[in-house]
Amino acid sequence: MDAEGGSFRHIPVMCRAVLEFLQPAPGKTIVDATLGGGGHAAAILKQLLPAGKLVGIDWDLDALQAARNKLASFGDSFQAVKANFRELEAICNRLELAAIDGLLLDLGVSSYQLDCPERGFSYRDDVFLDMRMDRAASRTQTAAQLLAKLSVQQLAGIFRRYGEERWAGRIASLIVKHRQTKGPVERSTQLEKIIREAIPAPARRKGGHPAKRVFQALRIAVNAELDNLRDVLDQGIKLLRPGGRVVVLVYHSLEDRIVTKQFRERARGCICPPGTPVCACGRTPQLNFLTRKPHLPSEEELAKNPRAKSARLRAAEKC
């Protein structure tokens, strides 16, 4: 697919492991809530036939069209839905799916989204700071709009909370100073220069590109990614039928903490105080952990797809 002059490509991360943990089989119904270009979906659909169904959800029109083209040969076994995955329960109700056998969440940003200048995700090119996953949603503010209106305290909070940026306060202060003296910070090169000025030289030489954490934080804030993740996990676990599985690919510690916390809380049984003779809470486990420790990409995969380096796979099964 050609999307605004760029080819939509996204190598499916840990595809073999996703299939092993998700266990698609003929007749099952699977939701790929992060459809992307359809790489994982194509592999899953091959194991769902005959009579199985995959519902693919994505809020990125470019991704959705790429997936429709890639998966057209699967006919009615595949259905694409343009939506935020936090609408999962409503989507399943609309499609008359009372329960599902599997849920896949791949929380990575595609190579196309990172590399396409119009999307504004990159700190490596001079691009407008958009960062919206769904550019059709006019109510969603761009990264540039956030940088233009938020206070030093608000910006620093975003950089700390979503980027775990040590120098958040200094970066936020320089952004606001730039606004007051030179005009709004709207381009990636402007923001990257400010970040370099704010971070001391010895710190800049550690941990990769110095702009990575701030750009991540802005993308998460623009798209409310962590709130969306909590919502879709709540709804997805509720929709899974017994024996159904949820598989999540995470790419940074903030996502991993949310997924691990959800799985751990739902894997707990009785929460009565120790020594209580008879259980009074009536609580039973909803999930069984399938990955006590995260499943990691192989060296072979990393050689082919270096962007998979930060990926961690978590999986659980409905009791």
Q: What is the pTM of this model?
A: 0.91
Cβ-based neighbour number of residue 99 at 10 Å: 13
Model confidence at 38: pLDDT above 60 = yes
Average pLDDT over residues 69-81: 96
Whether the per-residue pLDDT at 5 is higher than 70: the answer is no
Looking at the DSSP bridge assignments, the partners of residue 314 are 248
Question: To the nearest whole percent, how much of the chain has pLDDT over 90?
Answer: 78
Query: Do residues 65 and 3 make contact, with C-beta atoms less than 8 angstroms apart?
Result: yes
Q: At CA 98, angle to CA 92 and CA 100, rounded to 5?
A: 75
Work out the average pLDDT over 222-238: 97
Strand 312-318's sheet: what is its strand order?
78-82, 53-58, 29-32, 100-106, 240-250, 312-318, 287-289
Which numeric CATH code is attached to 134-223?
1.10.150.170
Omega prior to 50 cis, within 30 of 0: yes
**Predicted pLDDT of residue 271:** 85
- Beta carbons of 29 and 53 less than 8 angstroms apart: yes
CATH T-level fold of 2-112+225-318: Rossmann fold (3.40.50)
Structure tokens at 28: 């099952």
Q: Can you say whether the dihedral through the CA atoms of 33, 35, 36, 39 is positive or negative? A: positive
Q: Provide CATH 3.40.50.150 ranges for the chain.
A: 2-112+225-318
* Alpha-carbon dihedral angle through residues 116, 112, 184, 200, given to the nearest 10 degrees: -110
3-state secondary structure at position 174: helix
The CA dihedral of 39, 43, 46, 51, to the nearest 10 degrees, is -80
Q: What is the pLDDT of residue 8?
A: 57
Task: Give 30's pLDDT tier (boundaries 50, 70, 90).
Answer: very high
Residue of 139 and 34 predicted with greater confidence: 34
What pLDDT shows up at residue 135? 79
The answer on pLDDT for 137 being more than 90 is: no
Which of the two residues, 15 and 115, has the higher pLDDT score?
A: 15
Residue 121 has a pLDDT of 84
Per DSSP bridges, beta strands 2-3 and 6-7 are antiparallel
pLDDT at 251: 95
How far is C-alpha 55 from the geometric centre of its chain's CA atoms? 17
**3-class DSSP assignment, residue 246:** strand
How wide is the angle at C-alpha 83 spanned by C-alphas 80 and 89, nearest 5°? 90
Q: What is the pLDDT of residue 1?
A: 35
Arithmetic mean of pLDDT, 84-99: 97
**Dist. CA 255–CA 152, nearest whole Å:** 25
Q: State residue 3's pLDDT score.
A: 41
Number of H helices, E strands in the chain: 14, 9
Specify the domain boundaries for CATH 1.10.150.170 within the chain.
Answer: 134-223
Alpha helices in 12-151 (DSSP H): 15-22, 39-48, 61-71, 88-94, 111-115, 143-149
Q: Average pLDDT over the chain, rounded to whole?
A: 92
Tell me the pLDDT tens digit for each residue of 174-212.
999 999 999 999 999 999 999 999 999 988 888 789 999
The stretch 211-233 carries a mean pLDDT of: 96
pLDDT at 95 over 70: yes
pLDDT digits (tens, 9 = 90+) for 299-313: 999 999 988 999 999
Q: What pLDDT, on the 0 to 100 scale, is given for residue 204?
A: 86
Distance (Å) of CA 51 to CA 24, 30, 45: 12, 12, 10
Q: What is the pLDDT of residues 247-295, one digit of tens each?
A: 999 999 999 999 999 999 999 988 888 888 888 888 899 999 999 999 9
Residue 90's CB is within 10 A of a number of other CB atoms, namely 11
What is the pLDDT averaged over residues 229-243? 98
Alpha carbon distance 77, 220 (integer Å): 32
Which of the four pLDDT bands, split at 50, 70 and 90, describes residue 2?
Answer: very low
Separation of alpha carbons 307 and 311, rounded Å: 8
What is d(CA 279, CA 318) in angstroms, rounded to the nearest whole number?
A: 22
User: Whole-angstrom Cα distance, residue 176 to residue 191?
Assistant: 11
pLDDT at 242: 98
